[in-house]
């Protein structure tokens, strides 16, 4: 008997309107864990190289993590996978909420969609009955509205993941929405779903994940909860902390960022969510300002950033929201009477920055309304905000004029115009049609040296953290298989929440900050560990919250005898296959680059990042050598592929 998984995935062919189950061997499941690890193995094996991402034969997958649907804390994540319509590279996107566990409750380790329908469809898997249904009545509606309608038909206990208008209109910056506003947003996989004319998946089941050593597993969970309680803030402490937000200039001068002891981090995330960074990151140099050309303390100073602070956002909070199995509950539901919004998810830091500091916009109500629009339309707020920043700078420099923008006067900080641009992007209306596929495609259509204002890697808009502040983000932005991701295996970013304090079996080199060879060793360890963390279904913030019995939980669940070396090797296997997917597609990874503005070339002449230029190319070549890839072209060596049991890749690369 298998433990921790069901040993099968469901394939649904929308062209033929058929489905079949595929048995997955214990060996494959142990080698690729779950999430995008298992997803990459299945998509790689079943896809033709260099296929158009929106071709009917392109595959879209939904994969929960290995620990998802168990009591393991923070394990409620799932991943969508496929070839990215935005970058034509490997694509995956991560979301929380309750949809991931629903996949497991239907008895599957993954659901894969191939083919395409001529008419809108939605798929139901309810108590073991699989149906492909007519979605015509739901096509053209926002996904939150659709979820309400679906629950009236099938009951409140069903879980829904689907696309809004952006995905239907094949916006290459669209994502897939669950729980009325949790979004698997990046890679443009909403467009892949829309190309199949698939509106949504609707799931309900009662399968339970089999646990090998149930008592041991549950005792590990109970012990963690005893040690890691979330302590709420009293009104007095909240007031004191609110005053501390006025000290961001001092934090900048002292070079203090967004990190702290686990007890404090659990409390802060529970109280404020990720938007706690809105003011601090703008001041210390972490947030990009004015399409990456500005400096927070001068162009978007505290006098402006405080207007979009988490303190002001929390005034609209009516209740906490947490993903399945999460004790911290960093999310929240807001009610905004000024906008007639009865309920919406709190905007994350990335959204607030993309429509705030990046655009010099301190109009909080416009950001809240945009957040609701993006959730309903299913669009990536990082890419949407970055694309609008590009458009404003093009307008400012005369590359776009009012004839191009439907008469809109694009300017920094104008919340009303920014809001109107978001609506037009979602609807593909006028100037919105030009911008709906992201910055790169818009720039190629515009020409006129507009590429000077493009801030992407392989077509993916760069997220809201500056690698001149967190240096190794340059490494992951440029070279990770999913380009331009702050959620990838960045060594410096992970030092905010060190993985060796999360899983104490991991031994990071002590002098990694000062010794070059130890830094390389640490990056390889971090790369491997990060893949397992993600593929197990754990939240990327979980290492911030203290010591965790990670390997012990995996072994108690599955009956495996994983040690830390097995874990790191498995993670490197997953990363190598994701990387090989891109190489097979013809991506010359070694030639990837950061825009000069992002790397600091030339550097700022003032501010927190004064004189800072990020260098990352030589480190990547050394990393390739350390991990067993050719440093000249980033191809995994044949012996490396054999050692990772990836022999099937050799014929594709050699």
Smallest CA-to-CA distance from 97 within 268, 326, 276, 318 is with 326
From the options 1.10.569.10, 3.90.320.10, 3.40.630.30, 2.60.120.260, give the CATH code of 227-461. 1.10.569.10
Quote the pLDDT of residue 228. 87
If pLDDT is split at 50, 70 and 90, which confidence band does 231 have?
Answer: confident
Instruction: Judge if 8-204 and 227-461 fold alike in CATH terms.
Output: no
User: pLDDT tens across 10-33, in order?
Assistant: 999 999 999 999 999 999 999 999
Quote the pLDDT of residue 257. 52
Q: Which CATH architecture has domain 473-653?
A: Orthogonal Bundle (1.10)
Quote the pLDDT of residue 264. 80
Answer whether 0.75 is exceeded by the pTM: yes
Cβ neighbours of residue 313 closer than 8 Å, sequence gap 6 or more: 275, 278, 334, 346, 347, 352, 364, 368
Give the integer Cα–Cα distance in Å for 456 and 368: 25
Residue 250 has pLDDT above 80, yes or no: no
Quote the pLDDT of residue 436. 98
Quote the pLDDT of residue 234. 66
If pLDDT is split at 50, 70 and 90, which confidence band does 192 have?
Answer: very high
Calculate what percentage of the chain has a pLDDT beyond 70: 96
From the options 1.10.340.70, 3.30.300.130, 3.60.9.10, 2.30.33.40, give the CATH code of 8-204. 3.60.9.10
Mean pLDDT of 514-529: 95
Residue 254 has pLDDT above 50, yes or no: no
Quote the pLDDT of residue 229. 82
Mean pLDDT of 476-487: 97
If pLDDT is split at 50, 70 and 90, which confidence band does 82 have?
Answer: very high
User: pLDDT tens across 65-74, in order?
Assistant: 999 999 999 9
Quote the pLDDT of residue 262. 83
Residue 251 has pLDDT above 80, yes or no: no
Give the integer Cα–Cα distance in Å for 536 and 528: 13
User: pLDDT tens across 528-568, in order?
Assistant: 999 999 999 999 999 999 999 999 999 999 999 999 999 99
Backbone torsion region of residue 82, taken as left when φ is above 0, otherwise alpha when ψ lies between -120 and 50, otherwise beta: left
Mean pLDDT of 126-145: 98
Query: What does pLDDT average to over the chain?
Result: 95
Quote the pLDDT of residue 256. 47
Instruction: Please return the burial class of 421, using the count of CB atoms within 10 Å of its CB with bins 0-12, 13-18 and 19+.
Output: buried
Give the integer Cα–Cα distance in Å for 420 and 196: 29
Residue 275 has pLDDT above 80, yes or no: yes
Quote the pLDDT of residue 243. 54
If pLDDT is split at 50, 70 and 90, which confidence band does 497 have?
Answer: confident
Quote the pLDDT of residue 253. 52
Domain ranges for the chain, please list them. 8-204, 227-461, 473-653
User: pLDDT tens across 139-182, in order?
Assistant: 999 999 999 999 999 999 999 999 999 999 999 999 999 999 99
């Amino acid at each position: 008997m298998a433990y921790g998984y069901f040993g099968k995935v469901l394939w649904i062919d929308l062209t033929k309107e058929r489905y079949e189950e595929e048995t997955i061997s214990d060996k494959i499941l142990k080698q690729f864990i779950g999430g995008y690890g298992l997803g990459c193995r299945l998509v790689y094996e079943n896809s033709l190289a260099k296929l158009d991402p929106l071709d009917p034969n392109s595959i879209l997958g939904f994969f929960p993590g290995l620990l998802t649907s168990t009591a393991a804390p923070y394990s409620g994540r799932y991943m969508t996978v496929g070839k990215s319509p935005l970058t034509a590279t490997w694509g995956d996107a991560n979301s929380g909420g309750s949809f991931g566990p629903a996949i497991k409750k239907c008895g599957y380790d993954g659901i894969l969609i191939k083919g395409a329908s001529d008419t809108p469809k939605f798929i139901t898997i309810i108590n073991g009955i699989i149906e492909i249904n007519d979605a015509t009545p739901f096509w053209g509606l926002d996904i939150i509205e659709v979820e309400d309608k679906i629950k009236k038909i099938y009951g409140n206990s069903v879980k829904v993941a689907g696309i809004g208008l952006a995905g239907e209109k094949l916006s290459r910056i669209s994502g897939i929405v669950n729980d009325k506003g949790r979004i698997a947003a990046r890679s443009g996989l909403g467009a892949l779903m829309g190309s199949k004319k698939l509106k949504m998946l609707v799931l309900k089941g009662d399968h339970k994940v089999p646990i090998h050593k149930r008592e041991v597993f549950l005792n590990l969970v109970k012990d963690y909860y005893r040690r890691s309680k979330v302590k709420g803030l009293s009104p007095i402490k909240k007031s004191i902390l609110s005053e501390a937000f006025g000290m961001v200039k001092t934090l900048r001068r002292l070079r203090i960022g967004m990190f702290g002891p686990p007890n404090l981090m659990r409390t802060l995330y529970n109280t404020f969510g990720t938007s706690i960074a809105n003011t601090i990151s703008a001041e210390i140099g972490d947030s990009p300002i004015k399409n990456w050309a500005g400096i927070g303390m001068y162009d978007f100073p505290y006098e402006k950033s405080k207007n979009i602070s988490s303190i002001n956002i929390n005034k609209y909070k009516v209740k906490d929201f947490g993903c399945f199995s999460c004790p911290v509950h960093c999310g929240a539901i807001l009610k905004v009477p000024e906008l007639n919004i009865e309920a919406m998810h709190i905007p994350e830091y990335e959204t607030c920055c993309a429509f705030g500091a990046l655009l010099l916009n301190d109009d909080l109500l416009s950001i809240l309304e945009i957040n609701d629009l993006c959730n309903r339309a299913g669009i990536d707020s990082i890419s949407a905000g970055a694309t609008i920043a590009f458009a404003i700078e093009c307008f400012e420099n005369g590359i776009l004029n009012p004839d191009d923008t439907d008469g809109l006067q694009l300017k920094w900080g104008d919340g009303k115009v920014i809001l109107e641009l978001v609506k037009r992007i979602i609807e593909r209306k006028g100037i919105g049609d030009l911008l709906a596929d992201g910055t790169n495609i818009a720039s190629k259509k515009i020409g006129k040296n507009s590429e000077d204002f493009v801030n992407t890697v392989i077509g993916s808009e760069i997220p809201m953290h500056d690698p001149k502040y967190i240096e190794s983000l340059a490494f992951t932005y440029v070279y990770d298989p999913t380009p331009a991701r702050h959620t990838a295996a960045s060594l410096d970013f992970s030092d905010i929440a060190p993985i060796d304090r999360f899983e104490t079996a991991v031994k990071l080199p002590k002098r990694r900050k000062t010794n070059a060879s130890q830094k390389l060793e640490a990056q390889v360890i971090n790369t491997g560990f990060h893949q397992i963390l993600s593929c197990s279904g754990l939240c990327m913030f979980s290492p911030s919250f203290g010591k965790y019995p990670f390997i012990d939980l995996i072994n108690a669940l599955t009956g495996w005898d994983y040690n830390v070396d097995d874990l790191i090797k498995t993670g490197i296997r997953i990363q190598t296959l994701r990387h090989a997917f891109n190489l097979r597609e013809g991506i010359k990874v070694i030639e990837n680059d950061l825009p000069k503005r992002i790397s600091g070339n030339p550097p700022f002449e003032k501010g927190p990042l004064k004189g800072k230029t990020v260098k990352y190319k030589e480190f990547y070549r050394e990393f390739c050598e350390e991990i067993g890839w050719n440093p000249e072209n980033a191809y995994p060596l044949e012996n490396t592929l054999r050692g990772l049991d990836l022999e099937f890749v050799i014929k594709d690369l050699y």
